[in-house]
Chain A
Amino acid sequence: MAALDDTEVREGVDRETVETVASMAGKYKHGWSTDIEMDFAPKGLSEDIVRLISDKNNEPEWMTEWRLQAYRRWQGMEEPDWAMLEIPPIDYQEQYYYAKPKSMEKKPKSLDEVDPKLLETYEKLGIPLREQMILAGVEGAEQAPAEGRKVAVDAVFDSVSVGTTFQEELARAGVIFCPISEAIEKHPELVKKYLGSVVPQGDNFFAGLNSAVFTDGSFVYVPPGVRCPMELSTYFRINAENTGQFERTLIIADKGSYVSYLEGCTAPKRDTTQLHAAVVEIVALEDAEVKYSTVQNWYPGDEEGVGGIYNFVTKRADCREDRAKVMWTQVETGSAITWKYPSCILRGNDTQGEFYSIAITNNWQQADTGTKMIHLGRNTKSRIVSKGISAGHAQNTYRGLVSMHPKAADSRNYTQCDSLLIGDKCGAHTVPYIEVKNATSRVEHEATTSKVDDDQLFYCRQRGMDEEEAVALVVNGFCKDVLQALPMEFAMEAQSLVAISLEGSVG
């Protein structure tokens, strides 16, 4: 721990964040740097707030109008209530929609002030100490030297992107990877063409909200025939209290290109719940391939179900042209509530969509997650492998739609849906929707539910593993098909996360 004591502790996090934002939106530069306590985006949501957000990002008029249009649509929409989730009422006027990191007194000044349980978690994750401090919300942590790794990262801290690495190297390959706020300014033709083309403003309540108030997110464009030279990664972090995070990601893979994209999420422990409503849009043109992997580790609330992130996310990929291929892989271990269905529209002929998912719920967590595979083109293929694990009092639902449209001749889907229960107070549910509107397509669905077996645990323990190690081993075995679909670096992290998420679930 000695190294930590040497770390300079100051209000650096806030200043850096604010300065980065300021440099992107010069207009407010002076106001921010002189008075960082200034509450520049009041609580609540109105057309004025939408304009303010747009203004802060220095957006062109068409973008402001797009947001306002979304806001007006959203006002006429209702929260979806069909999921198997008990969602306490959310007061949308009690949220900050553009918040700088909140007052400093409340943030831990050093690791000594951080909940030891949280630190223990990060330590077990094998995250370097500097990262641990960032994750724990310790001030000044960002200033500690970083160890370089060959993954380009766009870090979104609260509402703003604080920096993107390897931009130059990517630019040499012609790949654009930048905050979406920057893309709106520098590549308006791409943003105009594709934003909202996969998830329209009026798609659903949360997507509508996001369209109106999204503050930042990542933008990726891979030009024709280019294989992106490295993994792209966005690291999302909610830090401030009472702040909603509404990031928007847009990925465009032009003809014959390839990109692998990783998304990581964390949030500190808070007693209050926090709202996260993101939208991810992927457009894959002819022969393009996109892999999108998520390790979602938002704060899940405590053992009593207090606090945690409400995660309402719309993720959708459009295999717009022939032979495009998209693969979603997600490891969902966090959030108090998860409402998320990464989907594929298989529009082109011979397109392919894959969805691999591990959803772990412990204590009082609730997850209603799955996918939609919309087969529109001929000879399209989709594959769904879902592993749901419930422990404690948690409820875990797989909800999936496989739809074969009349023109989707000779298409195929295979779905495998396995649930694992730990203890006798949790629940697992599988809700598949299957629509087949042609005579030549084939849909297969397999589902199993099992319990972690006492014999398996005793066998492991007799060989010397403690109970938690034994559960982690058995569960990792259960998830193997999905873990294998993750990029190496993420797979390791995901494995340890599986172990950590289930701590205290047995015994």
Chain B
Amino acid sequence: MLEIKNLHAQLEDDAEIKILKGVDLTVEAGKVHAIMGPNGSGKSTLAYVLSGRDGYEVTEGTVTLEGEDILEMEPEERAAAGMFLAFQYPVEIPGVGNMTFMRTAVNAQRKARGQDEMSSGDFLKLVREKAKSLKIEPEMLKRPVNTGFSGGEKKRNEILQMAMLEPKMCILDETDSGLDVDAMKLVAEGVNALRDANRGFLVITHYQRLLNHIKPDVVHIMSEGRIIKSGGPELALEVEEHGYADLLAEGA
């Protein structure tokens, strides 16, 4: 599904600051990969570079989604190709209704893929159904995007958007941050409901606890812009118990 080879990236404004220093990673369809690592290891940058955010320059390496090179694509083209990023800090857009936002997004992607726009009726039906499973109140759909949402509401809203857009490749950037246990369970259930043989997941997290709810197939440890170790779910437990220090020493 997603193939990252020898990816190097630095800040656009400061070539001295190199953040990704040769990331190799392949996420297969139907699999959940987790990336763990200490602060500043480049996890969030990887998510941004994959989704095409401004401010980073890729100096080396390739990224393909289903065999297609995505590094030259605009963010919206990547989105239409099936890339989705659940933001660590979902952005507030005052005055724009959540429903309007999602409908505009769904139809923009459909249009980019040469499909007909979804009718208001069909959209409404779908969004209500998906919202219900995430315990999102209908009232929240009418509020402006993320404006005045609690931390938990924002993250559930991200998962709702993911469910509506049905992406092929989902990146979750620290989706567990700022969530209490109940909220985390809800979010994890939402993600698990989307697990599918044709969909890949890359779950970025600091802590192992999210992985109790979203069971990964593969766990990677990232440090100083590279993947230094990969393994099964037991690797996450190891981090939980001993911290990163041993692994980092091992990788160095």
Contacts and interface: CB of A to CB of B under 8 A. Distances in A.
A462 B75 contact: yes
B85 interface: yes
Interface stretch (A64-72, A349-357, A466-474): A466-474
A455 B91 contact: yes
A459 B90 contact: yes
A473 B93 contact: yes
| Residue of B76, B80, B106 with most partner-chain A CB within 10 A | B76
A474 B96 CA distance: 7
Nearest to A472: B104
Interface string A468-489: 0100011011111100000000
Contacts of B74: 461, 466-467
Nearest to A484: B95
Contact of B95 (A454, A460, A466, A477): A477
A131 B21 CA distance: 58
Interface in B103-131: 104-106, 108-109, 112
A463 interface: yes
Nearest to A481: B95
Given A458-B53, A477-B144, A465 B95 contact: no
B118 to A, nearest CB: 13
Contacts of B100: 473
B144 to A, nearest CB: 7
Contacts of B105: 460, 463-465
A476 B161 contact: no
Contacts of B95: 476-481
B244 interface: no
A378 B95 CA distance: 35
A456 interface: yes
A464 B108 CA distance: 6
Contact of A474 (B52, B80, B93, B108): B93
| Residue of B84, B96, B106 with most partner-chain A CB within 10 A | B96
| Residue of A454, A465, A467, A480 with most partner-chain B CB within 10 A | A465
B112 to A, nearest CB: 7
Contacts of B96: 473-474, 476-477, 480
Contacts of B85: 462
B93 A456 contact: yes
Interface in A431-458: 453-456, 458
Contacts of A455: 91
B87 A459 contact: yes
| Residue of B51, B75, B85, B90 with most partner-chain A CB within 10 A | B75
Contacts of B54: 454, 458
A478 B53 CA distance: 23
A463 B52 CA distance: 12
A469 B75 contact: no
Nearest to B146: A459
A502 to B, nearest CB: 15
A461 B79 contact: yes
A282 to B, nearest CB: 29
A456 B104 CA distance: 14
B94 A464 contact: no
A162 B160 CA distance: 53
Contact of A463 (B92, B94, B161): B161
Contacts of A458: 53-54, 75, 91
B227 interface: no
Nearest to A454: B54
Given A477-B94, A477-B144, A462 B51 contact: yes
B76 A461 contact: yes
Interface string B67-103: 0000000111011100011010011111110001110
A469 B104 contact: yes
A466 B112 CA distance: 10
B165 interface: yes
A477 B165 contact: no
Contacts of A466: 74, 76, 108
Contact of B80 (A454, A459, A464, A480): A464
A465 B112 CA distance: 9
A463 B86 CA distance: 10
A289 to B, nearest CB: 27
| Residue of A453, A458, A462 with most partner-chain B CB within 10 A | A462
A458 B80 CA distance: 14
A479 B106 CA distance: 23
Nearest to A466: B76
A292 B91 CA distance: 36
B53 A465 contact: no
Contacts of A465: 76, 104-105, 108
Contacts of A464: 76, 79-80, 105-106, 108-109, 112, 165
Contacts of B52: 461-462
A459 B104 contact: no
A465 B104 CA distance: 7
A458 B173 CA distance: 15
Interface in B149-171: 161, 165
B91 A473 contact: no
Interface in B175-226: none
B133 to A, nearest CB: 20
A459 B74 CA distance: 13
Nearest to A483: B95
Contacts of B87: 459, 462
Nearest to A470: B76
Contacts of A473: 93, 96, 100-101, 104
Interface of B: 51-54, 74-76, 78-80, 84-85, 87, 90-96, 100-102, 104-106, 108-109, 112, 144, 161, 165
Given A458-B53, A477-B144, 17 more contacts: A456-B92, A458-B54, A458-B75, A459-B91, A461-B74, A461-B75, A462-B53, A462-B76, A462-B84, A463-B105, A464-B105, A464-B112, A473-B93, A477-B93, A479-B95, A480-B95, A480-B96
9 contacts: A454-B54, A461-B52, A461-B76, A462-B52, A462-B87, A463-B101, A466-B74, A474-B93, A477-B93
Interface of A: 453-456, 458-467, 469, 473-474, 476-481
Closest 9 CB pairs of A and B: A477-B95, A477-B96, A463-B105, A480-B95, A464-B109, A459-B91, A464-B79, A461-B75, A464-B108
